[in-house]
Amino acid sequence: MTPVIGRRFDNRPLALPWPGCPHILVGGETGSGKSGTLNAIIAAVAGYRNVAICGIDLKLVEQWPWRDRFTVSATTTSEADRLLAALRTLIAYRSQFLQDRGLRMWRSEFGPWILFVVDELAELSGFDPDSLVRAALTGETRDIMRDARGASQVRTALLGSLARLSRACGITIVTATQYPSHEVIDQQIRTQLAIRIMLRVASGEQIDVCLGRGYGKRISVKSIPVNQRGGLWIAGLPDDPEPVRGRAHFVDDDYIARRAAATKHLAWSYDDVFQLATDPPAVHSIP
């Protein structure tokens, strides 16, 4: 299986290794095609029968059209915390399963490979807006902000743990951000994102974060023109030691709706994926 997400500039398919795909970072500023690239990845994998898809979408935008194909989509910080904890529990279960059989890598015949999509990593480090409103009304802003900082640290630690342990257990993480910086992407997470897709960014530091240290001096921020939506550099492909230029497939709302409808019968139930997890987060119905 080779999910194709676009074309290289020499017109060859731009494909991800699958299954066993390393974790992926998608970075690019607003209007660069980051959302389209993220949806191209989901669309390319959605047609595989033995793949469950789950995610965190605190902006309530990107994952909603895929709701019938997703096992679960967390849309609040509390749901995100529960999903992160459920995934960590699942990793413990799958790790023991592999250890008992003397195996090092999950196989699709044991259960679904999981694509875990985190849209806008920076949101996980932010404040819960509802809590902040309540704090403003009650004068407890300082306590809420202190609690939020603590929650952010816990989420970062949990996501870092998932990134270190999950691939061997059949989980590929795809995280996207329009702020690809050292502040937003913690080092313990950044070092585990082996495939890095960079769309248009604003600085050499962001190029270094997306593609690796040193590329900010070798690749210009102008290498992807403003009018080239979906134009990208991708680093970390198994057969390419250097970043590769390409362009993601154009994915619009109509295509997403058709693809989601065509693949919804392949969705896995929560119970079938998270054998040991309890109190699942809900897939919200947005009016």
pLDDT of res. 95: 92
In the chain, domain spans? 4-273
Model pLDDT for residues 97-135, shown as the tens digit of each residue: 999 999 999 998 899 999 999 987 766 665 444 554 555
Quick one: fold of 4-273?
Rossmann fold (3.40.50)
Amino acid 287: pLDDT: 29
**Cβ pair 251, 40 in contact under 8 A:** yes
Q: How many residues does the chain have?
A: 287
Per-residue pLDDT, 198: 94
Rounded-to-integer distance, Cα 46 and Cα 41, Å: 9
Lowest-confidence segment of 15-29, 153-167, 192-206, 272-286 by average pLDDT: 272-286
pLDDT higher than threshold 90 for residue 58: no
β-strand partners of 7 = 13, 247
Residue 114 to residue 31: CA distance in whole angstroms = 28
CB-count burial class (<10 Å; 0-12, 13-18, 19+) for 213: exposed
Give the dihedral of Cα atoms 105, 187, 39, 117; nearest 10 deg: 60
Extract the runs of DSSP E, i.e. beta strands, from the chain: 4-8, 13-15, 24-27, 51-57, 70-74, 113-119, 171-177, 195-198, 231-235, 244-248
If DSSP codes are grouped into helix, strand and coil, which group holds residue 61? Answer: coil
Q: Which of 41-45, 142-146, 211-215, 265-269 has the lowest mean pLDDT?
A: 142-146
pLDDT at residue number 153: 66
* Listed range (83-87, 111-115, 165-169, 283-287) with the worst mean pLDDT: 283-287
Instruction: Please give the pLDDT value at position 137.
Output: 53
At a CB cut-off of 8 Å and minimum separation 6, what does 79 contact? Answer: 56, 281, 282
